[in-house]
Structure 1
Amino acid sequence: MARRGFQDQLVSLEEDVLYMSELVSERLRMGLSALEQKDRELAMEVIEGDDEINSLYLKLEGDCIDLLALQQPVAGDLRFVASSFKVITDLERIGDLATNLGTYTLDAERDVYPDVDVQAIGDMTVEMIEDAMTAYENEDPEACFAIADRDDELDRLCERASEIVVRDLIESEIEDGEDVESTMADVSRLLLTIRDLERVGDHAVNIAARTLYMVENSDELIY
């Protein structure tokens, strides 16, 4: 009977981790939409919603600690709980990066560098998170490697986008009367946005790496 209760706790933990991932992915989408539309109300919703993600993280952290301390799982169950703890940590950090997008929206003065498709990069990161969580749910090692491979593509897109911004800034001539400080602030915001989206991809790979460890006891993607 005790064992059945323990298995129920494991199922509940998985369901809660998946729910947290859905919440985080939705907040990231909202942050991207706020940035694209310069929607200050939506940006504030993302920023204020970070408390919900943090509270859920702390709750699940406590659940993982209780399972480790009180149930003392072994082998596969131990890897599942330990990996789930790592997954929620990455999800919480993605939530922080989504909050950053909300803050950048509030600070934005104008559109800069339309040649840099931030939304396409953002869409890719959301897909990577969702694919990583599907791999976690389905215990799919092949999908874990696919996510790691896709991160290389994301890194190239982010590097190219940053190069465009920096090159254009170097080559541009500030017109008379143009607010240099405002221009530099907008450029800095865009570079930070690109950097944060690249970090979201890194967290998706971390989730895939922990999933691979959970399923096959392999640390190949962790290092």
Structure 2
Amino acid sequence: MNGCEFDGVYYKEGYGSIVGIDEVGRGCLFGDVVACAIVMPKESSILGVKDSKKLSEKRRETLYEEILKECKALGIGRVDAKVIDEINIKQASRLAMKRALENLRDQEGQVFKPDLALIDAENIDSDIEQKAIIHGDDLSYSISCASIVAKVYRDRLCIGWSKDYPGYGIEKHKGYATSLHRGAIKALGPSPMHRKTFLRKILSNEPH
């Protein structure tokens, strides 16, 4: 069963509109966790849509533009490093997803309320009916679209952040814990946008 067929099961059950929700940046040391909520037309079937982690950067960029042109509604949610440190990354990811759903707007900028939310392996605080789908970014077309949009959106933020905080290589590793990034943190110390709760082992020189 491909992603479109997976979502089609729910359409056959009578749901009129389905929103797919996914987040990106959960494992990063730096910057916001970003979530996307997206509603694609029932008949949508963009070739090549799958989990963003399985796509090249160039392919993601192309699909991102196609998805945004075709989607019925879109919402982005963000939670910054300070809040991540305060409430932990799991709760911050859920909050970003909730914000993305609350920010859902159609192409005319009007609030859009879907009938069903398909969420990648999470539950969020919402009165909209929802289903947590394990490996949803692989199984569901809507969630795959959300995965791609969230990834490209956050990667573009990283390009901007790298100019504000040069020397860490954010534009290259996008905030993940690469050896380049860990070395830069040890050399320069953490920036205001680093997640302090993620850096304890790095800054204490413990093995990780």
State TM-score, norm by structure 2: 0.26
* Higher percent of residues as strand: 2
* Higher percent of residues as helix: 1
State TM-score, norm by structure 1: 0.24
